[in-house]
Amino acid sequence: MALKLIRKFVASSLLVMTAASASAETFVFTAIPDEDETKLVERFRGVADYLSEQLDVEVRYIPVKSYAAAVSAFRNNQVQLAWFGGLSGVQARRLVPGSEAIAQGVEDEAFQTYFIANTSTSIDPAEDLASLEDQLRGKTFTFGSKGSTSGRLMPEFHIRETFNQAPEDFFGRVGFSGNHTRTLRLVEAGTYEVGALNFQVWEKELEDGNIDTSAVQVIWETPAYPDYQWTIRGDVNERFGDGFKDRVKEALLALDDKELLESFPRSGFIPASNEDYEPIRKTAEEIGILD
């Protein structure tokens, strides 16, 4: 027992001392925490099992508490693969030269943000945002996470473009709920009058009967833009063997477990490239989130 402790102590101090890690053969991935944690853990443990079966290496999923933590872990090479949103993916790939977007959901080619409102505001759904100006001005409004594409970047872009004002000037109070599920709950409960969220989260919750449609409704849908994608570090082949990156890509594209896909929710994965996300980068630079 004592010997074991000493061994463990020596091992762990060595771990602290050297960069060479004992778990080099474990392929670690993370995902932006855009929804309820229980759901994420369930979903990505499934992905970890699937990948480990396909790739013949140990695969581990690490849950994180913020978008930035996901980007940092990727940048710091503590994770080698990540399920990013449009913006976090652009941030991550800028910081890690050689990293690549390898796959996106079928739905991510044309993703949308829904603006939702508590029905007590009696805001009627509209085709264009400009016509809602009078009804929206001065309301309380919540984004999702500060680093979210569908929950922050795109809605902020459209607010600025349509109303020529920063969100905090246009609305009476602006908050960041943290994630899409919470945005939905907060607007449903009336804590915020209006909010913006990922349309897939809305559709899935609606389908599952988790939305009180008498309390909250969609009032505007943004035009389509590219969003979520799997991004992998450029140096994985050196660490996990030649062709590893392609094998990961193939495995993701071949994923056809209905239940697992349903949990994303995506109907499948298709190839993606860094260039697909240029519009996101430009938008982020335009509103000053990226330098």
Partner 1 sequence: MLSYPTVRASLIFVAVAIVGLLFADIAITASNPWRDLGNFFLGVVTPNFFSSEGLLTALLRTVAFAFVGVALGSFCGFLLALVYRLLPVRIFCAFIRAIHELFWALIFLQFFGFHPLTGVLAIAIPYSGIFAKVYSEILEEADPEPRRLLPPGTGMVAAFLYARIPDCWEQMRTYTAYRLECGLRSSAILGFVGLPTLGFYLEASFSQGLYSDAGAMLILFYVLIATIPLWVRPKLLPVYILAAPFFLGDGLPIVWGNVERFFTEDIVPAPLRSGEGIAGLVPWLNDLMVNEALPGIWNTVLLTQVALVATGILALLAFPLISNHFGGPVRRTSGHVFLVIARSTPEYILAYILLQLWGPSMLPAVVALALHNGGIIGHLIGRQTNTLRLRPDAPTGFNRYTWELVPRVYRSFLAFLFYRWEIIMRETAILGILGIYTLGFYVDSAIQNIRFDRAMVLILVTALLNIGVDALGRYIRRKLALQTMPTC
Residues that bind partner 1 (CB under 8 A): 5, 8-9, 12, 15-16, 19, 21-23, 28, 36-38, 62, 64-69, 71-73, 75-79, 91, 95, 118, 120, 140, 145-147, 173, 175-176, 178-179, 181-182, 185-186, 189-192, 289-291
CB-wise, 15 or 130, nearer to partner 1?
Answer: 15
Other Cβ atoms closer than 10 A to 7:
10
CB-wise, 69 or 270, nearer to partner 1?
Answer: 69
Count the helices and strands in the chain (H runs, E runs): 13, 11
In the bound complex, what is the minimum distance in angstroms from residue 231's beta carbon to partner 1?
A: 14
Per the CB < 8 A criterion, the answer to whether 74 and 32 are in contact is no
**Alpha-carbon gap, residue 288 to 4, rounded angstroms:** 53
In the bound complex, what is the minimum distance in angstroms from residue 228's beta carbon to partner 1?
A: 18
Dmax (CA) for the chain in angstroms is: 73
In the bound complex, what is the minimum distance in angstroms from residue 38's beta carbon to partner 1?
A: 6
In the bound complex, what is the minimum distance in angstroms from residue 39's beta carbon to partner 1?
A: 9
**Alpha-carbon gap, residue 29 to 41, rounded angstroms:** 12
In the bound complex, what is the minimum distance in angstroms from residue 253's beta carbon to partner 1?
A: 27
**Alpha-carbon gap, residue 168 to 278, rounded angstroms:** 27
In the bound complex, what is the minimum distance in angstroms from residue 125's beta carbon to partner 1?
A: 21
CB-wise, 219 or 255, nearer to partner 1?
Answer: 219
Name the phi and psi angles at 15, rounded to 5: -60, -40
The residues pairing with 84 across neighbouring beta strands, listed in sequence order, are 229
C-alpha Rg value of the chain to the nearest Å: 21
The dihedral formed by the CA atoms of 10, 78, 290 and 193, expressed in degrees to the nearest 10: -100
